[in-house]
Amino acid sequence: MVKHTCQVGMWLPYSDLHEGSPDQHVNVAELFAGKKGVLFGVPGAFTPGCQMAHLPGYVQNFYQFQAKGVDVIACVSVNDAYVMSAWGLAHRAEGKVRMLADPTGAFTQAIGLLMDYPDVIAKLGNRRSKRYSMLVENGLVTKIFVEPDGGGLTCSLAQNILSVI
């Protein structure tokens, strides 16, 4: 059993993330208010698993998500806004996946999904997000999938969450 504080039935916190630049703020709770959406988190933009499998799956399956009534798909990483923006451009995510930066990890910590593993810090320079995906309806978490080791590539991929919507 994965231990984290984010659970089904939890409301997303009123937390500002950055989109495009450090001056552009997006409140996560407001982004999902009145909408059905998918929020997924990754350890880092441009890292191997995130680059090859995680983000591409959400971009490629955008229209399948729409067909199932999903209004918004957002990706969160403990990166700066410029890196997240560049990563989104590299994967043609514009108009499909909102690329949200959590530069201090405050949002990720608030939902209890911040990795604090010494090997991750040594490789990536600071604490990072566990890999997860969640279905959010009107700001309420209705399904959540967190990788058992925080960084695997199984339950948090696009196909998995598509299968439960």
pLDDT per position as a tens digit, 26-48: 999 999 999 999 999 998 887 76
Candidate list 6, 50, 75, 155, residue with the active-site label: 50
**Catalytic residue flag (residue 6):** no
105 sits in the region (left: phi over 0; alpha: psi -120 to 50; else beta) called left
Average pLDDT over residues 118-140: 77
So where are the chain's domains? 16-162
Edge to edge, the sheet with strand 72-77 lists: 21-27, 16-19, 98-101, 72-77, 36-42, 132-137, 140-146
Helix, coil or strand: residue 62: helix
Span 3-19, mean pLDDT? Answer: 87
| CATH code for the part of the protein at 16-162 | 3.40.30.10
Contacts of 158 by beta carbon, 8 Å cutoff, 6+ apart: 57, 58, 60, 61, 65, 133
Name the more confident of 48 and 130.
Answer: 130
